[in-house]
Amino acid sequence: MSNLTIKEVSTRLGRFCIIKINKMLIVTPCDTRVKILQALSEAEMTAEEISGKVGSAYSTVMDHMDVLEKLEIVSSQLRRTEGKRRIAFSLREDLGESMSHLSDPASD
């Protein structure tokens, strides 16, 4: 699994999260997506589990998961548990490679 570290920093400009993925650093305002990434760094989870962990509605989580999948940060797998179909989300194992184009100025 990718090496993911998230640290929250408070400044007079507001709260920011510093996300370190392998050797890449991303600074972003703290929001639901950061909480989702923190949850997924611990284990694979369904949208229901993520919703409970981050305190957001299921539909909100699914909207964020759609964005994170399009950015190739998370992947999804269909799972069957107790006769129910669930989508399980996890951080992509090749996260560093899949996001390298974001920090490479030559790719613009």
Sorted by where each starts, the structural domains of the chain and their CATH numbers stand as 4-102 (1.10.10.10)
Pull the structure tokens for residue 56.
């957001």
Encode pLDDT of 8-28 as tens digits. 887 776 777 787 877 777 777
Q: In the chain, pLDDT over 90 holds for what percent of residues? A: 25
3-state SS of 30-71 is CCHHHHHHHHHHHCCEEHHHHHHHHCCCHHHHHHHHHHHHHC
Encode pLDDT of 47-98 as tens digits. 999 999 999 999 999 988 988 888 888 999 998 878 888 899 999 877 645 4
Write down the pLDDT at residue 33.
Answer: 84
pTM of the model: 0.64
